[in-house]
Amino acid sequence: MVNIPRLVVYTTDLQRMTGQSERSCQRLLNKIRDMFGLEKRQLVTVRHASEYMGVPVAEITRFMEL
């Protein structure tokens, strides 16, 4: 089976990266959406999170694979 990388960042991914609570990571996702002008229904991509947090894409995807 081929491992296809995910494009979307979820609350649990941010929790693994930051060690923050679920609610804090939900707020972080909302801040990222605000920065990029995304609507509530739109998903946050790895690139959005990378740019907002100043963390390389490779580091973010590493936490998503756990």
Radius of gyration of the chain (CA): 12
Q: Smallest Cα–Cα separation from 10: which of 2, 58, 28, 1?
A: 28
Instruction: Give the pLDDT confidence of 22-65 residue by residue, as tens digits.
Output: 999 999 999 999 999 999 999 999 999 999 999 999 999 988 87
pTM recorded for the entire structure:
0.88
Q: Residue 3: what pLDDT? A: 72
Domain ranges of the chain: 1-38+50-66
Comparison of pLDDT for 66 and 55, the residue scoring more:
55
Q: Residue 65: what pLDDT? A: 74
